[in-house]
Amino acid sequence: MPGITLGDTVPNLEVETTHGKFKLHDYFADSWTVLFSHPGDFTPVCTTELGAMAKYAHEFDKRGVKLLGLSCDDVQSHKDWIKDIEAFTHGSKVKYPIIADPNKEIIPQLNMIDPIENGPSRALHIVGPDSKVIISYIITCMILLVNFGFVIYR
């Protein structure tokens, strides 16, 4: 399996996001971060999950945890998708950045690959203040939703 695994330091990649360009370690900046990926914009399951993250964002904020999404489309598509997510998730705003990976170069470096499909997956890494992965999930079943309430209290 390519990329990082539990205990590994997340590579300090420069990424383009809905909030501009930055290096991952600068974003992590000595805090906990939930880094989550989705194969593509505008899919029903991914839209629901990003909306759930927007809904729970205040709970992560209270705990000093940052959120960082990743999807295999470009920044403009993400910005258009955010409007759709917010319309679907009444009263919630997507305030966290979403990384653009239209060439699918970042996903394998972060080991957010579906082992069955051998392509981008719905995945989640919890990254510690030292930029190391401490918990990792890869969701291969497209009908299952990530329980972000569980992630908060994990």
In angstroms, the CA 112 to CA 138 distance is: 7
Q: State the catalytic residue, choosing from 34, 46, 68, 139.
A: 46
In angstroms, the CA 121 to CA 114 distance is: 5
46 in active site: yes
Assess contact for 9 and 130: CB atoms under 8 A.
yes
117 class by beta-carbon count within 10 Å (0-12 exposed, 13-18 middle, 19+ buried) = exposed
In angstroms, the CA 31 to CA 2 distance is: 26
**Which helix (DSSP H) or strand (DSSP E) does residue 77 occupy?**
helix 75-88
Q: How many CB atoms lie within 10 A of CB 113?
A: 21
82 class by beta-carbon count within 10 Å (0-12 exposed, 13-18 middle, 19+ buried) = buried
| Positions marked active-site | 46
